[in-house]
Amino acid sequence: MSVEWRIDDRPVGYETAVAAMEERVAAIRTHAAPELVWLLEHPPLYTAGTSARAEDLVEPLFPVYQTGRGGQFTYHGPGQRVGYVMLDLKARGLDVAAYVRGLEEWLIRALAAFNVKGERRQGRVGIWVVAGGREAKIGAIGVRVRHWITYHGISLNLDPDLGHYRGIVPCGIRDAGVTSLAEQGIVATTGEADLALKRAFAEVFG
C-alpha cells in the first residue's frame, strides 16, 4: 500500500500536530489522502493518555496535554524522535493488538540498526533495553484508532535530557528507568534514526 512520509526537522507544537493528524485521519477514511507516517520532534512537554493517574504527575515542569491516545504520562522533547502513524487497519486486515505488536517490532528493528537489543515486556507496552543489570525503556507507544484509522504512534529516545522525565512517572511504571541511545553509548543523528525507522517500517508493514 502507498504510504506517504513526512519528515520535520524543526519542533512541531503538540496541538498543531494533533490537529494535522485528525485532519489526515478524516481524509484517509474518505480515500482523499494516502496513509501517512510523520517523523518529528516536539518542544518539551508531557502528555497524559486515557489511563493517566493524577499522582503520576509529580512536578509539571513543562506544559501538560490531555490526549485521547492509550497509555499514561509520557514526555516528548528535543533529542527524541516521534513517529505518528496514520494507517487504515481495515484495509490492511489488522486488528489493534496486531497493530501495536507491529509498532513494537518496528522499534525493535530500528534499534537493531544501531546494534541495540530492544525487548518487549509482558504487560508493559513499549520497548526496553537491559544494560548493566538495569532495565529501562527506550521506546514508547501510544495509539488511538478512529473508524479503524490509527493515529499517534511511537517515540524513540536518541539523546533527550533524561532529567526532564523527573516531572512524571513515565507510563506509570515506578520500578524501571528511562534510557536513550546516547546513554547506551551510541551517537545517532536524526537523519540516521529516520533512515533506520523508514527501513524498519517497510520490513514490518510492507
Q: Any idea which residues carry the catalytic annotation? A: 171
Q: Which residues pair with 81 in a beta bridge?
A: 156
Residue with cell 513543562: 62
**Partners of residue 83 on adjacent β-strands:** 39, 154
Residue burial 152-185, b: 16+ Cβ < 10 Å; e: rest = bbbbbbbbbebebbebbbbbbbeebebbbbebbe
Backbone angles phi, psi at 19, to 5 degrees: -60, -40
Amino acid at 90: K
Whether residue 17 contacts residue 42, with contact meaning beta carbons closer than 8 Å, is answered with: yes
CB count in 10 Å sphere of residue 84: 23
